[in-house]
Amino acid sequence: MKRLLALLAAALLSTAAHAQDAGPVERWGSKEVTLAGPRDGNPFMDVELSATFRQGERSVVVEGFYDGQGQYKLRFMPDAEGIWEYETHSNRAALDGKRGRFTVAAATAGNHGPVRVQGLHHFSYEDGTPFWQVGTTSYGWTHQPEAVERQTLTTLAAGPFNKVRMLVFPNQDVKHQPPRFPFEGAPPKAWDFSRFNPEFFRHLEQRVGDLRALGIEADVILFHPYDKGYWGFDQMPADVNQRYVRYVVARLASYRNVWWSMANEFDYLTKKQMPEWDRYFQIVQARDPYQHLRSIHNAMVLYDHHKPWVTHVSVQSGAIAEDFERAVLFRDVYSRPVVYDEVKYEGNIDRRWGQLSAQEMVLRFWMGAIAGTYVGHSEIFKDPDDMSWLGKGGTLRGESPPRLAFFRRILSESPPEGLEPIDKWQEYPFAGKPAQYYLGYFGQQRPESWPFALAKPGLEDGMKFRAEIIDTWNMSITPVEGVFEIRKRDNYSFADKNGRRIALPGRPYMALRIVRLP
């Protein structure tokens, strides 16, 4: 009897220790645990907090953070349905040994998990859904007045973009002071770098969450050179930088839509040398339990993207995506997905990097696609109030976004494995899946016809295909009459057995889609 009572008491204690947390969390959602803890001293520096989340034999360790006013938080992104349990670990008794249990439900519609690398050169969500990157850049959109930020979100909700590159630290803005700053203290430089400003980071994560609700990836840029010493966030000591990186990762890693960019134009931050950038990569890699995508953006000097902590290549180049034969080069060098995040911008400013026409902007997306790579957008137009999508968000004024929505639709109808160059050396501007699917683009050429001829990989005599003419600027798709049956023409190609040609309108920016028939 005594033994039975002891076992019953132990069971009750176990149940109490693993209290069921209210409400289920969806798969790839964010489970938040809030604990009351010490306020004395400097909680940002003095208190250590982590938790182990377990399901069966699996365990995931996450780092906690201080959120101000005696509140400590841990966030966890579960990747499997069912019951999970957790236990906290801390150097303070009030935070140590806290246990809980919660249920993870199926992912809701539109939640496909975080984006991962698929194969060598492409992306997909964790559930296997292809991710066709059609990104934009709006550096300082989270540092604007509330009305402007809401306007930006409305623009994004109606737009074609599924990724936004955005800064954590504010830009130097001579006309408007940001509404909040990442550290306690006073602008421009009276900062206490040992104390973060939780209000700043709560606002940032709110906006990352807003993007998540829209199905948009947040490419979070940890450092940038556009402070130019004014606030001093670009010149902090290395130990402050490392503590800042850990804090951002602790707060944001549980958001499934996060990508990490170590810096924008990292080589313009001249006081930071390559080993320091390596160290920041390593910190993110070690502290992010979900291994979100990681890269770094260049100005004049390329980072070595072969390093093991780099998941994909983020490149700035004004000219490389002007044609597919150039765009494929970085892909071949690094054997990783390549995103040309900056290829100049649509706009009319005096700087040469902000003078692309809409046609030139769209052309770069198509050239990047048939090279098996991805391209990024932004725009900057002259404005008396210094408002631009690139710098501050708001509204879009350019003509490229509708064409990029059409482009994204075409990508979504492509093979899920991603577009692979069919013959990347000459003559055949096609990507796709050999002998199955071909997407070709003529750019600024104005052909009036095209001989039906495909590069030979995978082809055999007698295969049959249908074709469509795509006007990428006017956003139309016109089926070509008839069926094309091929036979070998020479050592490099197969052509229509009757020598047929496809009539084209003699305009630039035309594409062809060719699909094999069963």
- What residues does each domain of the chain span? 17-105, 115-412, 422-516
What element of type H or E holds 495? strand 493-496
Q: What proportion of the chain, given as a percentage, has pLDDT over 90?
A: 92
- Contact assessment for residue 89 and residue 51, using Cβ atoms and an 8 Å cutoff: yes
**How big is the CA angle at 322 (ends 320 and 327), to the nearest 5 degrees?**
45
**How big is the CA angle at 140 (ends 44 and 200), to the nearest 5 degrees?**
25
With a cut of 80, say whether residue 26 has pLDDT above it.
yes
- State residue 173's pLDDT score: 77
Report residue 120's pLDDT band, with 50, 70 and 90 as the boundaries: very high
With a cut of 60, say whether residue 16 has pLDDT above it.
no
With a cut of 50, say whether residue 5 has pLDDT above it.
no
Which residues 6+ apart lie within 8 Å of 345 measured at CB? 137, 353, 354, 356, 361, 377, 378, 379, 380, 390
Q: Which fold has domain 115-412?
A: TIM Barrel (3.20.20)
With a cut of 80, say whether residue 175 has pLDDT above it.
no
* Partners of 190 in the β-ladder: 186
Mean pLDDT on 245-257: 98
Report residue 68's pLDDT band, with 50, 70 and 90 as the boundaries: very high
Mean pLDDT over each residue of the chain, to the nearest integer: 94
- State the CATH architecture for 17-105: Sandwich (2.60)
- State residue 478's pLDDT score: 98
Mean pLDDT on 239-262: 98
Report residue 426's pLDDT band, with 50, 70 and 90 as the boundaries: low
CATH number of 422-516: 2.60.40.3950
Mean pLDDT on 433-445: 97
With a cut of 70, say whether residue 22 has pLDDT above it.
no
- State residue 428's pLDDT score: 67
- State residue 352's pLDDT score: 95
Cβ–Cβ contacts within 10 Å for residue 437, how many? 21
Dump pLDDT digits (tens) for 285-340: 999 999 999 999 999 999 999 999 999 999 999 899 999 999 999 999 999 999 99
Question: Among 124-128, 160-164, 324-328, 418-422, where is mean pLDDT lowest?
Answer: 324-328
With a cut of 90, say whether residue 400 has pLDDT above it.
yes
**Bigger pLDDT: 516 vs 424:** 516
For residues 288 and 127, what is the distance between their CA atoms, to the nearest angstrom?
Answer: 20
* Partners of 33 in the β-ladder: 74
- State residue 10's pLDDT score: 39
In the chain, count of helices (H) and strands (E)? 11, 33
Mean pLDDT on 208-213: 98
| Confidence (pTM) | 0.94
Report residue 8's pLDDT band, with 50, 70 and 90 as the boundaries: very low
Same fold for the domain at 115-412 and the one at 422-516?
no
